[in-house]
Amino acid sequence: MTEKEKLQAGELYNANDPELVQERVNAKKLCMEYNAATYNDYQKKERLLTRLIAFKGENTWIEANFFCDYGYNIFLGDNFYSNHNLVILDCAEVTFGTNTYIGPNCGFYTASHPIDAETRNQGLEYAKPITVGDNVWIGGNVTVLGGVTIGNNVVIGAGSVVTHDIPDNVVAVGNPCKVIRPVDEK
């Protein structure tokens, strides 16, 4: 089994494998080009995102700066907007539903490392997917860890660290992020 196959299977893998390193280099080059593009060169930015991201729906916009590991594990629904400094470590799939709005300085981290130092020091890591539902607003400076699912119609408060699943129709905040109340239309 190759290191990439191990990664995709959710098993421990060596991120320093030459194939994976080259794929990250390719993605980082596209991110660099995207971030350096003139702000209102919408066509160029659109072309770069199309080359970088696995799937993007209609009306997708990511403010520079944007960084990811591979790109091919990122799926963006319609009406996706992210403010500045979005980081997606997409060693596993990261899926965003429709009508997702993300504040500045947010990170979605599928990559993780073993707690055991001996294993970790061998350069081994693993990844777990992240899923974000429809109609989700994520405040600034939020971190979402691998293995988390955020439901539909959710608001995640600024500065939160999301370590566990968040159900539908709630407002959740904190470190660790916890549900504080249902979404209230008022």
Contact criterion met (CB below 8 Å) for 176 and 165: no
Please state the rounded mean pLDDT for residues 153-163.
98
In terms of Cβ atoms closer than 10 Å to its own Cβ (0-12, 13-18, 19+), residue 109 is buried
Position 186 scores a pLDDT of 64
For the question of residue 164 being annotated catalytic, the response is no
Please state the rounded mean pLDDT for residues 139-149.
98
pLDDT tens-digit series, residues 99-137: 999 999 999 999 999 999 999 999 899 999 999 999 999
Confidence of residue 184 (pLDDT cuts 50, 70, 90): confident
Residue 35: cis peptide before it, omega within 30 degrees of 0:
no
Given the residues 84, 113, 128, 178, the one annotated as active site: 113
Q: All domains of the chain, ordered by start, with CATH? A: 3-182 (2.160.10.10)
Average predicted confidence (pLDDT) for the chain = 96
